[in-house]
A and B are shown apart, each in its own frame.
Chain A
Amino acid sequence: QVQLVQSGPEVKKPGASVKVSCKASGYTFTGYYIHWVRQAPGQGLEWMGWITPNNGATNYAQNFQGRVTMTRDTSISTVYMELSSLRYDDTAVYFCARGGTSHAVEYWGQGTLVTVSS
């Protein structure tokens, strides 16, 4: 079955960077986009961008341009999301999620809590 397993919680200081991993299994890794979506405490979902593991192409939401970098390592079926210049309002649960059926997101990781605190 399709599984996306994310790395554990992180606590970072303002101005630092965080890198979250997402290991995929149960399907052909290079066949599907991986999206990143975040959810601040008590808030809604926010789309951050996607990466296609096939060739590493990316597309980032305008709100994150210049601060987010998505990469992949096909040898271990893992994608990464790095967010830099962290601010207090970047505190959120970050989800990776697999595209598939049309323009929808079918499978979600368990989420990674990133806390930005001094």
Chain B
Amino acid sequence: QSALTQPRSVSASPGQSVTISCTGTSSDVGGYNYVSWYQQYPGKGPKFMIYDVSKRPSGVPDRFSGSKSGNTASLTISGLQGEDEADYYCCSYAGSLTYVFGTGTKVTVL
């Protein structure tokens, strides 16, 4: 199972928006509506941000939104804030109760 492909880094100024892509195949991202996203600060454990492609757990700001088209899922952060500077990982269900993570994207707030 190959890792899902994410851009290595994205950046934007405060208040702007960034979109992180997560590209897989029809066996994972494209085959199921079970993509989740995680935020990770350096030296910390990941934090659960999005599930089922676009649903937000309670407590996650509505600046974070998810979507999917074909084999590519996306996470958009609107109204970027300094605290959003972190690494972001997607994860997809890949059938047979297995999962695969993305390669990770570093978000930089300029």
- Chain A residues close to B by CB (< 8 Å): 35, 37, 44-47, 50, 59, 61-63, 95, 97, 101-111
Q: Are B104 and A45 in contact (CB under 8 A)?
A: yes
Task: Report how far A110 CA is from B45 CA in the complex, Å.
Answer: 6
- Chain B residues close to A by CB (< 8 Å): 1, 3, 32, 34, 36, 38, 40, 45-48, 51-52, 55, 57, 89, 91, 93, 96-104
Q: Are B1 and A108 in contact (CB under 8 A)?
A: no
Task: Report how far A61 CA is from B28 CA in the complex, Å.
Answer: 14
A103 and B34 in contact, given A46-B101, A61-B1 (Cβ under 8 angstroms): yes
Task: Report how far A38 CA is from B57 CA in the complex, Å.
Answer: 23
Q: Are B48 and A47 in contact (CB under 8 A)?
A: no
The prevalent SS among residues of A at the interface is strand
A95 and B45 in contact, given A45-B38, A47-B99 (Cβ under 8 angstroms): yes
Contact of B102 among A44, A59, A95 (CB under 8 A): A44
In the complex, the chain B residue whose C-beta lies closest to that of A47 is B99
Q: Please name the 5 residue pairs, one residue from A and one from B, whose CB atoms are nearest each other, closest first.
A: A104-B51, A104-B36, A103-B34, A108-B45, A44-B104
CB-CB under 8 A from A101, the residues of chain B are: 48, 51-52, 55, 57
Q: Are B100 and A102 in contact (CB under 8 A)?
A: no
CB-CB under 8 A from A107, the residues of chain B are: 48
CB-CB under 8 A from B48, the residues of chain A are: 101, 104-108
Task: Report how far A106 CA is from B47 CA in the complex, Å.
Answer: 8
CB-CB under 8 A from B99, the residues of chain A are: 35, 47, 103
